[in-house]
Amino acid sequence: MSFFKLAALTTAALALTVAAPRASEAQVTFGVNIGAPPVCSYGYYGYAPYRCAPYGYYGPEWFSNGVFIGAGRWYHGGDHFHGHINHAYDPHYGYRGPFPERGGAYREPDDHWNNFHASHYYDGHAEHVDHDYHGGGHPR
């Protein structure tokens, strides 16, 4: 190999080494946006896909001046809140009836909650709080 070819190859190799891109430090950022809670007349289920719950699923203590206090990830009630629900209106427990559309406005039930029958007692984060509760107006 001639001196000129060797010099040209060495220069080319050196140029590629100097011009090669350097490994950059990876910068990873991410955020979690849970979005706005569903707008539902009588609340929404505290689990995905957060479908609107029918009248009768939540008891009256889940509402403040006609506004649902939220459940699951959007719960915004007090730290020691516990409220009544009725699993008969939960699709996880066999409910197959109609579901309200999103965007409905709250309307005080005609029976003023007198016909509400609780089956369980939950906190605002959709956690069952009393495993010995068997319905009625108050836990045992």
Question: What is the predicted pLDDT for the residue at 91?
Answer: 95
What is the rounded radius of gyration, in angstroms, for the C-alpha atoms of the chain? 30
pLDDT at 51: 93
Confidence of residue 31 (pLDDT cuts 50, 70, 90): very low
User: Mean pLDDT, to the nearest integer, of 30-44?
Assistant: 77
- Nearest of 55, 53, 43 to residue 112 by alpha carbon: 55
Give the Cβ contact number of residue 32 at 10 Å.
4
Of the chain, the percentage scoring pLDDT greater than 70 comes to 66
Residue 6, pLDDT above cutoff 70: no
Percent of the chain at pLDDT > 90 equals 24
Cα-based distances in Å from 15 to 4, 8, 88:
16, 10, 75
Lowest mean pLDDT among 19-23, 73-77, 90-94, 106-110: 19-23
Between CA 136 and CA 119 the distance in angstroms is 7
- What number is the average pLDDT over the span 104-109? 81
Token reading at 15: 């140029």
On whether the CB atoms of residues 42 and 57 are closer than 8 A, the answer is: yes
